[in-house]
Chain A
């Protein structure tokens, strides 16, 4: 079974600085997707960034980028130029790319609560 581990329960960053959130996962599959989701106090999960395992190039979305190390099964999120609105719980998630079945089954980590200091 696949597992996702986030070892940082809480992190803090100064506004305009850079912070990196860690995530490791375990799987025997070779094809899968990895995600970072943000959950603000409003509770709605918002997709931050997505990485396909077959792509060697790290995904980027504006101020958000990932460091995907497939051999090490590591998937960290870097937030540059942090803003007050980035404060939220961040979840790392895994999804199998195998065909059929529950294609919407995400396996989540326990989350990292990010505080942004003004």
Chain B
């Protein structure tokens, strides 16, 4: 079975620009979550998508938005980039449960640098 794949692996943007990051979930997984990992920190939860709708969000402003497609792949969009948006963005997929018993499979991330 294929794992979680993310693209691009690295990218550089300038302040004020917009960026789109992409994620293909593991086969059979229909729930996707995005995390931001700043340098030297643990990942922070941005949001989660299930059945093409956002069903959970962390403490991130509205300029962080996402999409989930019928094939369960997902996009993370960040508008009006700021220097502090420089980070590794991780995508994780899982099958849904009503509790937290499901295991997340992570991708290798997209490294965003904002200049």
A residues whose Cβ falls under 8 Å from a Cβ of B: 4, 32-33, 37, 42-47, 50, 52, 91, 93, 95-111
- In the complex where A33-B100, A96-B100 touch, is A110 in contact with B106 (Cβ < 8 A)? no
> Within the assembled complex, what's the spacing in Å between the Cα atoms of A44 and B88?
11
**7 tightest Cβ-Cβ pairs between the two chains A and B:** A102-B56, A108-B42, A45-B106, A104-B33, A95-B100, A44-B108, A99-B98
With a cutoff of 8 Å between Cβ atoms, the chain A residues found around residue B101 in the complex are 33, 52, 97
Shortest B87–chain A CB gap in Å is 12
Task: Name which of B43-51, B64-72, B78-86 contacts chain A.
Answer: B43-51
Q: Which one of B44, B90, B104 has the greatest number of beta carbons of chain A within 10 Å?
A: B104
Interface residues of B (CB under 8 A from A): 31, 33, 35, 40-45, 47-48, 55-58, 88, 90, 92, 94, 96-104, 106-109, 111
- Residues in A with CB closer than 8 Å to B94 are 103-104
6 residue pairs of the A-B complex, CB under 8 angstroms, read A37-B106, A43-B90, A102-B45, A105-B58, A108-B42, A108-B44
Number of cross-chain contacts by CB at 8 Å: 85
- Whether B106 pairs with A109 at a CB distance below 8 angstroms is no
Q: Is B106 a contact partner of A44 (Cβ separation < 8 A)?
A: yes
Chain A nearest CB from B107 CB (Å) reads: 7
Q: Are A109 and B90 in contact (CB under 8 A)?
A: no
User: Judging by beta carbons under 8 Å apart, are A47 and B43 in contact?
Assistant: no
